[in-house]
Amino acid sequence: MKALLLIDLQIDFLPGGALAVPRGDQVISVANRRMPDYSCVVATQDWHPADHKSFASQHPGHRVGDIVEVDGIEQILWPDHCVQGTRGAEFAPGLNVASIRRVVRKGIDPNLDSYSGFFDNARRGSTELKNYLRSRGMDEVDVMGLATDYCVKSTVLDALDLGFRTTVIAEGIRAVNLYEGDQQRALDQMRAAGATIA
What are the residues binding ligand VGL (CB under 6 A)? 8, 13, 46, 78, 115, 146-147, 150-151
3-state SS, 54-88, equals CEHHHCCCCCCCCEEEECCEEEECECCCCECCCHH
Spatial contact of 119 and 78, defined as CB atoms under 8 Å apart: no
Binding segment for Zn ion (CB under 5 A), chosen from 85-93, 105-113, 157-165, 179-187, is 105-113
46 binds Zn ion (CB under 5 A): yes
Buried b or exposed e, range 19-31, using 16+ CB within 10 angstroms: bbbeebbebbebb
The least distance separating ligand VGL from the CB of residue 130, rounded to whole angstroms, comes to 19
Considering beta carbons, is residue 13 or 119 the nearer one to ligand VGL? 13
Residue 88 interacts with, from Zn ion, ligand VGL, none (CB under 5-8 Å by kind)? none
The least distance separating ligand VGL from the CB of residue 181, rounded to whole angstroms, comes to 17
The least distance separating Zn ion from the CB of residue 48, rounded to whole angstroms, comes to 6
User: Considering only residues 52-91, where is the footprint of Zn ion by CB under 5 A?
Assistant: none
Please report, in angstroms and rounded to a whole number, the separation of the first and last CA atoms in the chain. Answer: 18
The least distance separating Zn ion from the CB of residue 10, rounded to whole angstroms, comes to 9
Alpha-carbon torsion (101, 122, 166, 82), positive or negative: positive
Phi/psi of residue 97, each to 5°?
-65, -20
CA angle 89, 42, 126 (to 5 degrees): 80
User: Considering only residues 106-125, where is the footprint of Zn ion by CB under 5 A?
Assistant: 107
Annotated catalytic, 8? yes
Q: Which of 80, 113, 120, 151 is catalytic?
A: 151
Annotated catalytic, 106? yes
Give the residue numbers annotated as catalytic, written as ranges: 8, 106, 151
